[in-house]
A = this chain, B = another copy of it.
Amino acid sequence: MRTGIFVGRFQPFHKGHLEAVRYALGRVDRLVIVIGSAQRNYEPRNPFTLGERIEMIWRVLRTEGLLDRVLIVPVQDVENHATWVKFVEASVPEFSHVFSNDPLTLELFRAEGYDAAEVPLLNRPLYMATEVRQRMANGGNWEDLVPSPVAEYLKEIGGVDRVRRILGAE
């Protein structure tokens, strides 16, 4: 069984992330979504808690019928970047494929010999979490950028107001 990991912060999980999950599942049998910066929340670039991010991703996976092929595993940041890949290796099932669009993640996995792959499309503006958060703060149309289970969940927990306050307070 080929296993891959897809590394991101998912603040929040948007349609680009879902595309990336589908892309990765075309190449591996099982995918681990690694939620990075797991310990961060209630700050401008990381408004949502780990629990909230797991919930939103889980609802999308359920809707998509992917719960039997995708796991979610959180990983904290470490200051000593050179040890981070090992930290991930010790935290998730054994994997052979790495997917990410974060330059540091790619740098670190490649330094350890992984053939880490950038995911196509994910760098397009509409597929960036920064854009989603900005629209939330500015009253723009953010719902179109995220899978509908994410939009519903964020409304349930008052997530948009939180983002607006946190970005406004900067």
Please give the residue numbers on chain A whose beta carbons come within 8 Å of chain B beta carbons, in ascending order.
Answer: 38-43, 49-51, 54-55, 58, 62, 67-68, 71-74, 76, 79-83, 85-87, 89-94, 103-104, 107-108, 111, 162, 165-166, 169
CB of B49 within 8 A of CB of A90, answer yes
Cβ-closest 3 pairs across A and B: A103-B169, A86-B86, A42-B81
CB of A90 within 8 A of CB of B94, answer: no
A46 to chain B, nearest CB (A): 9
Of B67, B72, B82, B107, which one neighbours A165 at CB under 8 angstroms? Answer: B107
A81 contacts which of B43, B72, B92, B104 (Cβ < 8 Å)? B43
Closest chain-B Cβ to A40's Cβ sits at a distance in Å of 6
